[in-house]
Amino acid sequence: MAAVRAIFEMQQDESNEKEEEEEWTVISVLSSDSLISTMTESLQDAQQEFGRQLVVRHEVWSLKDKSGSPFVSDRLEEILQIISASMDLEDDKKTDGIVSTHRPRRNCLVHCARGVSRSAAVCAAWLISCRDFSLVEALTQIRTARDVNPNLGFIAGLRAIEKCGGDIQKAQERLTRKHNNNNPTQAQQQHDQAEEEGKGADDANNNITNPQTKTRPDVDLATTSSQRQPKSSQRRSFVSSLFASLKKK
């Protein structure tokens, strides 16, 4: 609650100096029900405290910070459209050649639990898809404001978006093809298994007709061991993490 209030207090001070009204769209990229509930209640409390409708839209995307999470998706495309519609952009300032000066200044806050991976990946995807940034340019731009590090799965998704010219649907198709190439379908697996069984039957027949030509199949004794992933470090508190994102601004 304190962090959310601090955000609006800071922006309200700026808007008062410029005699502007503010309105916010907040996008919460979280997976914990408790954090989602905390953020929703904090926004409601902040609005009651300031006595006006600051947040015009609160959008929640339930997404885990894991490499295998479905980042490049229809939901991502929806979120990017919401971001574009929620901000005052240079090409949105004029309507039919007339500059609009009476509407509130629009802002968009994208956040996750720590502000390091998920929210950074969403902002990078917006820069790549909607502002023609390269992946490197997008991350460099974001890192001028905050130290971020999207996980490897999100980076792979961002690279696919970049290679597809910012088209989310094409990026999805590209990643699906890559996944299918790396993971044979069930039909292909059954076909390969049938071939192996056929070869085994041929070898058995040869051994029966020519007992002296019996061959002993090679046995691979090599084993692999998986390393247990280290436990993730204890997460910083949600409010402290969100408040830390403001210190560099």
- Helix (H) or strand (E) holding 184, with range, is none
Report whether pLDDT(249) > 90: no
Q: What is the pLDDT of residues 46-84, one digit of tens each?
A: 888 876 778 889 999 999 999 999 999 999 999 999 999
Q: What is the pLDDT of residues 160-201, one digit of tens each?
A: 999 999 999 999 999 999 888 887 665 566 666 666 665 555
Amino acid at 22: E
Which of 2, 7, 37 is CA-nearest to residue 22?
Answer: 7
SS3 state at 87: coil
**C-alpha distances out from residue 160 to 36, 73, 172, 175, Å:** 29, 12, 8, 7
Question: Quick check: 109 and 79 in contact, CB under 8 A?
Answer: no
Question: Quick check: 168 and 161 in contact, CB under 8 A?
Answer: yes
Q: How far apart are CA 137 and CA 114, in angstroms?
A: 22
Of 14-28, 117-131, 162-176, 216-230, minimum mean pLDDT range: 216-230
Q: What is the mean pLDDT of residues 110-115?
A: 95
Question: Quick check: 43 and 58 in contact, CB under 8 A?
Answer: yes
Task: Provide DSSP, 30-43.
Answer: E--HHHHHHHHHHH
pTM for the full predicted model: 0.68
Q: How far apart are CA 84 and CA 86, in angstroms?
A: 6
Q: What is the mean pLDDT of residues 13-29?
A: 74
Domain spanning 2-182+239-244, CATH class: alpha beta
Q: What is the pLDDT of residues 121-170, one digit of tens each?
A: 999 999 999 999 999 999 999 999 999 999 999 999 999 999 999 999 99
Q: Within its chain, how far is the Cα of 207 from the centroid? A: 57
